[in-house]
Amino acid sequence: MPAITLTDLTLGYERHPAVHHLSGIFQPGSMTAVVGPNGSGKSTLVKGIVGILRPLGGRIERQNMKKHEIAYLPQQLEIDRSFPITVLDTVILGLWRQIGIFGGMKRELWAKAEEALRTVGLSGFEMRAISDLSGGQFRRVMFARMLLQDSPVVVLDEPFTSIDSQTTIDLLKMIKRWHAEKRTIIAVLHDFNQVRDHFPETLLIARELIGWGPTAEILCDENLTLSRTMSAAWDDEAEICAEERV
C-alpha cells in the first residue's frame, strides 16, 4: 500500500494560494479526516491529491501508484442525473480499469456489481433509471461504484452532505470496512463529532496547516479558534511568495 507524501505543497487558483506550504504524509492504511472552515482549502487539497489540480509549488508523491487508481468522490458531481442510464450500468463504471473501452462483462463481474449493490442496500434497484433515485440512494450508488473500483486509496469530499442519518451510518460502515481492509482513506468532513467518533487521524487546515495527527490532539479548542481567525487572503496586489518550508 502506497503512502501519499506532500512536500511544501501549494495549491490554488490563478496564482492565489488556497493551500499554502503544506507538508506531511498520509500513511498507508491511515484514515484521515480533513477539516477546516469554509474556504480553508479542503476541497482544493483533495483535488491536488487526486491529480485534478496541478500544484503551484511543492510536490505530491503517490509512490508507485498512478493518480487514476485513486477512487475519488468529488463534492460537486459533474453527473447528469437526468441521463437515461440504469443503476446497474452506473455501478459497473467502477470496473472501468478492468474492462476499459472494449472489455466484456464476465459473469463474475456482473456478480460483483450485484454484490456491491447489495452492500449499499440497493438490491432490486438494478434496472431503475438513476433519475428515479433520491439524493441518498444516489449517494449509495456512488459508494457502490467506488466499491467496485477496489482502489488502495479512497478520497471523499464531503460524502455525507445533505444525507440523512441512516444513510450516513450505513456509508460510514463502508468507509470503516475499507479502513479495516488497510486502504488509505482521506475524507473532507464538517461534523466534528463524527470525526472524533470515527476518524483516527485529522488534518486541520485554514489555508495554512494548523495541525495534522491523532484526532483528539488536533481537535482541541486552541486549534479550532486559531482556524477560525486565519484569513483567506485574496489580494491581487500580493507579492510573490518566495518562501520555502521543507
Partner 1 sequence: MNSFTELLVEPFQEFMFMRHALAACFALAIGCAPVGMLLVLRRMSLMGDALSHAVLPGAALGFLVSGLSLYAMTVGGIVVGLTVALLAGAVARATALREDASFAALYLISLALGVLIISMRGTSIDLVHVLFGTILAVDDPALILVASITTVTVFTMALIYRPLIVECFDPGFLRSVGGKGAAMHFLFLVLVVLNLVAGFTALGTLMAVGMLMLPAASASFWAKQFWSASLTAAIIAVIASYSGLLLSFHLNVPSGPAIVLVAGLCYVFSVFFGRYGSLYSRRRAGGHLTG
Could you give the strand order of the β-sheet that contains 16-26, starting from the edge strand earlier in sequence? 57-61, 4-13, 16-26, 208-214, 201-206, 31-35, 184-188, 153-157, 71-73
Shortest Å, Cβ 102 to partner 1: 8
Distance in Å, CB of 187 to partner 1, minimum: 16
Minimum CB distance to partner 1, residue 144 (Å): 13
Give least dist CB 47 to partner 1, A: 11
Q: Beta 201-206 vs 208-214: how paired, if at all?
A: antiparallel
Name the residues that contact partner 1, by CB under 8 A.
50, 52, 66-68, 70, 72, 74, 77-80, 83-86, 90, 93, 96-97, 101-102, 129, 145, 149
Cell, residue 183: 486502504
By beta-carbon proximity to partner 1, the closer residue of 66 and 107 is 66
In the complex with partner 1, which residue's Cβ is closer, 75 or 194? Answer: 75
